[in-house]
Amino acid sequence: MLENFLMVGQQALILFILMGIGYCFGKSKLLAPEAVTGITNLVLYLVVPCSLISAFQLDLTAETLHDFLLSMLLAFVIVLACFFIPFFLLPEKDPIRKRIFCLAMALTNCNFMAFPLQTALIGPTGIFYGSAYATVCPLLFWTGGVAYLTGDANSFSWRKALCNPGIAGIALGLFFFFSGINLPPVLMTVVDDISAMNIPLPMLLIGYQLSQANLHHVVADRMSWVCALLRLVLLPLGALMVMYLVGVRGSVLIATTVAAACPAGTLVAMMAEKCNKGARLAAELVSFQTLLSVITMPLVVGLAETLA
């Protein structure tokens, strides 16, 4: 068991060293905001889709199809549970703050944070299973999540839910998966080389975001600590225990736990900024939880490795 914790901790340490480099470049102004925007676009529109296409270059078998559909079902159940449990339990009276807290509980950073760790622990198939979670989060966010955040039912949008680079990459990967078509070796090499950037670039970006954050307000906010405890420890551990009790094992258990144990997703902060609904709180929650996840993710994922 200790060996599993140390292995996950070592992989997490590599990721957080990369975050530290991004942090130092952000603080020293060596990484300009304009460059960060460009790198973000590169990751979202090229690196992540290529990683997903590479991950789906598997033979279609009853086992792989079963495991992917199981991962999708688990992701739906976990994300919805992580929304409704805080919705009923958090004693927050301010409606805007409660909306931010609930969405931060449900929607994790399941691509930028999860994909690199899933790849490090499981290999390319880690993203294959993790992509199920990365599909569910934006689908639920762009449909019910945005409507809940804004308080406007007209914000419900299937078009926005489906038309984003992550979903496009998954759709293309699924096409290759179900059709049995394999990319030519030359193209596959290009896709794999681009996919290799999926570990360092997102971590550098998260480190930069931390360098720009002001954590004073969120550290002094008691509800932010309650939110962090739920998001990073209690909810992922509860999901892990339920999955274990119903017989989920192996790569599906590990990949799903990694996604569920991630801090709040940056999508919440970006949409809060756009809608002018608790933008500072959302950004501070994401940064605060990302910092705390240095400690919590190795513990939760290490336990998953032991149970798998």
Per-residue pLDDT of the chain (308 residues; tens, 9 = 90+): 666 667 677 777 787 788 889 889 989 989 888 888 888 888 878 887 888 788 778 777 888 889 989 999 999 999 999 999 999 988 888 888 999 999 999 999 887 788 888 888 888 788 888 888 988 887 888 777 878 887 776 666 667 666 766 677 778 888 888 887 888 889 999 998 998 887 788 878 878 877 887 788 888 889 999 999 999 999 999 999 999 999 999 999 999 999 999 999 877 877 776 677 777 788 888 888 988 888 898 889 989 988 98
Please name which of 298, 258, 197, 233 lies closest in space to residue 71, comparing C-alpha atoms.
Answer: 258
**Is 282 within the bounds of a domain?**
yes
**Is 218 within the bounds of a domain?**
yes
Backbone angles phi, psi at 212, to 5 degrees: -100, -5
Q: How many CA atoms does the CB half-sphere of 251 hold within 13 Å? A: 20
**Is 121 within the bounds of a domain?**
yes
- Domain at 223, CATH number: 1.20.1530
Percent of the chain exceeding pLDDT 70 equals 92
Single pTM value for the model? 0.82
How far is 138 from 122, CA to CA, in rounded Å? 23
**Is 228 within the bounds of a domain?**
yes
**Is 188 within the bounds of a domain?**
yes
How far is 117 from 121, CA to CA, in rounded Å? 6
**Is 308 within the bounds of a domain?**
no
Q: Tokens for 90, please give them.
A: 């958090």
How far is 45 from 42, CA to CA, in rounded Å? 6
How far is 67 from 229, CA to CA, in rounded Å? 30
Q: In the chain, how many domains are there?
A: 1
Predicted confidence at residue 41, as pLDDT, reads: 81
Q: Enter the DSSP assignment of 198.
A: G
**Is 304 within the bounds of a domain?**
no
Predicted confidence at residue 165, as pLDDT, reads: 67
Please name which of 258, 198, 213, 200 lies closest in space to residue 18, comparing C-alpha atoms.
Answer: 200
One-letter amino acid at 181 equals: I
Q: How many other CB atoms are there within 10 angstroms of residue 98's CB atom?
A: 17
Provide the residue range defining the domain that includes 177.
2-298
One-letter amino acid at 117 equals: L
Taken in order 270, 275, 278, 280, the sign of the CA dihedral is positive
**Is 303 within the bounds of a domain?**
no
